[in-house]
Amino acid sequence: MPLRSERSVAILAQAEEQLQSIRLLSSAKAMSDSFMVRTRKFKNNPLLARKQFVVEVIHPNLANISKKDLAEKLAKMYKHDNKTIQLFGFEKKKKKKKNT
């Protein structure tokens, strides 16, 4: 069985380091693109035939979240078409990555 030369061992080690850094970057990007949605104060409004609730959006690695992305996530959570979702009245907490 032939022994590997020092040069080939160094090249393999360098390739493994590059692969590890690519994995770390891709996992960091996946974490940075995520946000969490919580709902509270849920109530039915039969007069207007709709459901109303307060939405808490937690986004620690993002500056802000577009209403389009938020509507898509709520549509998946509640199994509705995102065209029927109306978002309004958001307030940002100072020095926190949280909107309500």
At 50-93, the pLDDT tens digits run 888 888 888 877 778 889 989 999 999 889 898 889 998 888 77
Both 48 and 75 in one domain: the answer is: yes
Q: Are residues 42 and 81 in the same domain?
A: yes
- Burial label for 70, CB within 10 Å (0-12, 13-18, 19+), is buried
pLDDT in tens, 1-56: 455 677 777 777 777 777 666 665 555 444 445 888 888 898 998 999 888 888 88
DSSP class of residue 6 equals H
Number of domains in the chain: 2
Q: Are 65 and 17 members of one domain? A: no
Amino acid at 26: S
